[in-house]
C-alpha cells in the first residue's frame, strides 16, 4: 500500500478504506511516513471532509496508536467532561470534585492553555505543589480510591494525535471539524471512560464562531462516541462574553473554589450544575435533571463537594490550605483599575480582547513552550447588561510589570462597549444534544 495512493484518493474527494486509514496512522506514528506526505493528506481531509465511517476508523486508529486505559476494575460508570475552550472557563476544577462527591467516578485528562483559551492544568498548577504529571498507574489508583484524578496527556495516550496536532497547527488545518473531533475523542476514549459530557462553545471567545459550526462539531463528536458505544451528550454554550468574573490561572482557580463553597458567580455555578447534572444522569445516579441538580446542590450545601476537592489536592501533592486560605494562591504585585469613560449600560465585553489583554501580562501562551505567570490576569467587575457611571470601575488588571502592561490596560478598556440602550439577554446554554 502506497501513501501516495492514499493521498490521491482523498485529494479527489473519494472515501478512504479502513485499511488505508490504519496504514497511514500506524506509519505516521512510527515515523515511516514523512511530515510532507502527512500534511498533504491532512489538507485533503480539511478540504473534502470525511464520512462518518471514515472518521470512526480514523479516531479508533488514533486511539489505538498508544495505550488505552482499563478502568473496568473501578465500580460505577466512569464519566468525563470536555470543553472546546473559552475565556474564563474554569468549570472542570469545580465540576469534577462536585460530581465525584455524588458518587460518579471522574477520570479527567486535561490540557494546557494555548492561544486565547485557558488550560485546566495551568489553573490547577496555580495551587502550590499540585502535580498533574502522574503516571497512568497512579491515575487509575486515585480514580479508584477517591473517585477522581486530573492529569495531563501522557506520552503513551493517543500519540498519533500529538503528532497530527502539531502538523495541523503549522498547516492551517486546525479548524477542520473531522480533525478536531477525532483529536478530542481519541484522547477521551483512551481514558477508559463509559460516558462523556461535551461543552461546545460558540461565539467571539470560542473557536467555533457560529451556531451552525458548533452544532456540526457537537453532532460529529456525539456520533464518534456513539459508534464507540459510549454515552455522550453535548451542550452548546455561549462564549460571546467571559465566563465568570476572573481570567487568569490563580484567579480562576479561586473562583472555582468559590463555586464549591456555594458562593461562585451565577453563570459559572449554573453551567457547572447543568453539566454536572448530565454527568450524574449518564453515571446512573439520577433519572432526570431536576433530581440530579438537587443531589449536586446538596453536595455543595453539605460541604462534601469542597471536601472532595481538598482530598484531590492532597492526593496530587498540593497544599490544600488554599481551600480555607485562598490568599495562598499566587497574587500579582500590582493592580490597575480600569475606569469607565462614560455612563450607560454595558452592551458587551469582548471576551477575545480580554483574553488577549491577559496574555499580554503573561496569563497565557502563544506557543506550547511558552511559560506563564499564574498570578496575573483580569477581574471583570462590570458585565453585559450592568449599569455603569463615568469613572466607575469596569475591571482590574493584575500584573507583575513589563512592557505590555499599558497596552493590556488599553485593550481591556477597548473590550467594553457602553451605550444608552440595554442589550438583549443571551442564553448561557443554547442547546443540548444527546446521543442515542
Spatial separation of the C-alpha atoms in residues 300 and 168, rounded to whole Å: 41
Beta bridge pairs of residue 143: none
Spatial separation of the C-alpha atoms in residues 265 and 403, rounded to whole Å: 32
Options 3.90.1170.30, 3.80.10.10, 2.60.40.10, 3.40.140.10; CATH of 331-419: 3.90.1170.30
Note the pLDDT of residue 368. 66
Chain segment 161-188, per-residue pLDDT in tens? 888 988 887 888 888 999 999 999 999 9
Q: Are 387 and 345 in contact (CB under 8 A)?
A: yes
Beta bridge pairs of residue 348: 417
Spatial separation of the C-alpha atoms in residues 114 and 274, rounded to whole Å: 26
Spatial separation of the C-alpha atoms in residues 322 and 310, rounded to whole Å: 9
Give the mean pLDDT of 129-137: 94
Place of cell 473531533: 181
User: Considering the chain, what is the average pLDDT of its residues?
Assistant: 94
C-alpha closest to that of 100 among 323, 263, 307, 256: 307
Place of cell 497512579: 138
Give the predicted TM-score (pTM) of the model. Answer: 0.94
Same topology between domain 3-49 and domain 79-156+167-180+188-325 = no
Note the pLDDT of residue 114. 58
> Could you give the count of Cα atoms lying within 13 Å of 125 in the half-sphere of its Cβ?
20
Note the pLDDT of residue 108. 94
- Where does 3-49 sit in CATH, by number? 1.20.970.10
Terminal-to-terminal C-alpha distance of the chain: 37
Could you state, in order of their start, the residue ranges of all structural domains in the chain? 3-49, 79-156+167-180+188-325, 331-419
**Which cell goes with 50?**
470525511
Secondary structure letter of residue 76 according to DSSP? S
Task: Spot the catalytic one: 10, 187, 188, 308.
Answer: 187
What are the DSSP E strand ranges found in 328-389?
Answer: 334-339, 344-349, 377-380, 387-388
Note the pLDDT of residue 306. 98
> Could you give the count of Cα atoms lying within 13 Å of 130 in the half-sphere of its Cβ?
28
**Which cell goes with 387?**
449599569
- Which segment, 309-313, 365-369, 423-427, is predicted with the most confidence on average? 309-313
Note the pLDDT of residue 172. 83
Chain segment 207-252, per-residue pLDDT in tens? 899 999 999 999 999 999 999 999 999 999 999 999 999 999 999 9
Place of cell 481570567: 247
344 — pLDDT class (breaks 50, 70, 90):
very high
Active site residue 186: no
Torsion on CA atoms 412, 414, 415, 417, rounded to nearest 10? 140
Secondary structure letter of residue 165 according to DSSP? H
Active site residue 161: yes
Task: Spot the catalytic one: 81, 90, 162, 168.
Answer: 168
Give the mean pLDDT of 42-52: 96
Note the pLDDT of residue 170. 80
Active site residue 314: no
Task: Spot the catalytic one: 22, 78, 81, 82.
Answer: 82
Helix axes 18-30, 159-171, angle to 10 degrees: 90
**Residue 349, H or E segment:** strand 344-349
Query: Higher confidence at residue 185 or residue 370?
Result: 185
Active site residue 82: yes
Q: Are 200 and 236 in contact (CB under 8 A)?
A: yes
Note the pLDDT of residue 433. 96
Among 41-45, 87-91, 347-351, 366-370, the range scoring the smallest mean pLDDT is 366-370
Spatial separation of the C-alpha atoms in residues 112 and 116, rounded to whole Å: 11
Percent of the chain with pLDDT over 70: 98
Active site residue 212: no
Cα–Cα distance list, 373 to 255, 266, 322, 333, 401 (Å): 17, 27, 18, 12, 11
Q: Are 18 and 57 in contact (CB under 8 A)?
A: yes
Torsion on CA atoms 179, 180, 182, 183, rounded to nearest 10? 110
Q: Are 346 and 418 in contact (CB under 8 A)?
A: yes
Cβ neighbours of residue 32 closer than 8 Å, sequence gap 6 or more: none
Place of cell 456555594: 262
Q: Encode 6-42: b = buried (16+ Cβ within 10 Å), e = exposed.
A: bbebbeeeeebeeebbbbbbebbbeeebeeebbbbbb
Give the mean pLDDT of 255-278: 98
Options 1.10.3720.10, 3.40.1030.10, 3.30.930.10, 3.40.1080.10; CATH of 79-156+167-180+188-325: 3.40.1030.10
pLDDT at 195 > cutoff 70:
yes
Cβ neighbours of residue 36 closer than 8 Å, sequence gap 6 or more: none
Chain segment 82-120, per-residue pLDDT in tens? 999 899 999 999 999 999 999 999 999 887 765 666 689
Q: Are 144 and 112 in contact (CB under 8 A)?
A: no
Beta bridge pairs of residue 426: none
Amino acid at each position: 500500500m502506497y501513501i501516495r495512493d492514499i493521498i490521491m484518493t482523498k485529494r479527489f474527494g473519494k472515501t478512504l478504506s479502513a485499511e488505508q486509514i490504519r496504514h497511514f496512522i500506524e506509519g505516521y506514528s512510527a515515523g515511516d511516513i514523512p511530515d510532507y506526505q502527512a500534511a498533504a493528506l491532512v489538507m485533503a481531509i480539511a478540504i473534502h471532509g470525511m464520512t462518518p465511517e471514515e472518521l470512526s476508523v480514523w479516531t479508533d486508529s488514533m486511539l489505538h496508536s498508544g495505550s488505552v486505559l482499563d478502568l473496568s476494575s473501578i465500580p460505577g460508570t466512569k464519566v468525563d467532561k470536555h470543553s472546546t475552550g473559552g475565556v474564563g472557563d474554569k468549570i472542570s476544577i469545580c465540576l469534577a470534585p462536585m460530581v465525584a462527591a455524588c458518587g460518579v467516578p471522574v477520570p479527567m485528562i486535561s490540557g494546557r492553555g494555548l492561544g486565547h483559551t485557558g488550560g485546566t492544568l495551568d489553573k490547577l498548577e496555580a495551587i502550590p505543589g499540585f502535580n498533574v504529571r502522574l503516571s497512568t498507574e497512579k491515575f487509575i489508583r486515585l480514580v479508584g480510591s477517591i473517585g477522581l484524578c486530573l492529569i495531563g496527556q501522557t506520552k503513551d495516550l493517543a500519540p498519533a494525535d500529538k503528532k497530527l496536532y502539531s502538523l495541523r497547527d503549522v498547516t492551517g488545518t486546525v479548524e477542520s471539524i473531522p480533525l478536531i473531533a477525532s483529536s478530542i475523542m481519541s484522547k477521551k476514549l483512551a481514558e477508559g471512560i463509559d460516558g462523556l459530557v461535551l461543552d461546545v462553545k460558540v461565539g467571539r471567545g470560542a473557536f467555533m464562531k457560529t451556531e451552525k459550526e458548533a452544532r456540526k462539531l457537537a453532532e460529529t463528536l456525539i456520533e464518534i462516541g456513539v459508534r464507540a458505544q459510549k454515552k455522550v451528550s453535548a451542550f452548546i454554550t455561549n462564549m460571546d462574553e467571559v465566563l465568570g468574573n476572573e481570567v487568569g490561572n490563580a484567579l480562576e482557580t479561586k473562583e472555582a473554589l468559590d463555586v464549591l463553597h456555594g458562593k461562585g458567580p451565577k453563570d459559572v455555578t449554573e453551567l457547572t450544575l447543568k453539566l454536572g447534572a448530565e454527568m450524574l444522569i449518564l453515571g446512573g445516579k439520577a433519572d432526570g435533571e431536576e433530581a440530579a441538580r438537587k443531589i449536586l446542590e446538596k453536595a455543595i450545601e453539605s460541604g462534601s463537594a469542597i471536601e472532595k476537592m481538598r482530598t484531590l489536592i492532597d492526593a496530587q501533592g498540593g497544599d490544600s490550605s488554599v481551600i480555607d486560605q485562598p490568599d495562598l494562591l499566587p497574587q500579582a504585585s500590582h493592580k490597575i483599575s480600569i475606569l469607565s469613560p462614560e455612563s450607560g449600560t454595558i452592551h458587551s465585553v469582548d471576551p477575545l480582547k480580554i483574553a488577549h489583554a491577559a496574555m499580554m501580562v503573561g496569563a497565557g501562551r502563544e506557543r506550547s513552550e511558552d511559560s506563564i505567570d499564574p498570578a496575573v490576569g483580569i477581574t471583570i467587575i462590570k458585565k453585559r447588561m450592568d449599569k455603569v457611571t463615568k469613572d466607575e470601575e469596569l475591571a482590574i488588571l493584575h500584573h507583575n510589570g513589563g512592557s505590555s502592561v499599558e497596552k493590556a490596560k488599553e485593550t481591556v478598556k477597548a473590550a467594553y462597549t457602553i451605550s444608552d440602550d440595554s442589550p438583549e439577554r443571551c442564553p448561557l446554554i443554547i442547546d443540548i444534544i444527546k446521543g442515542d
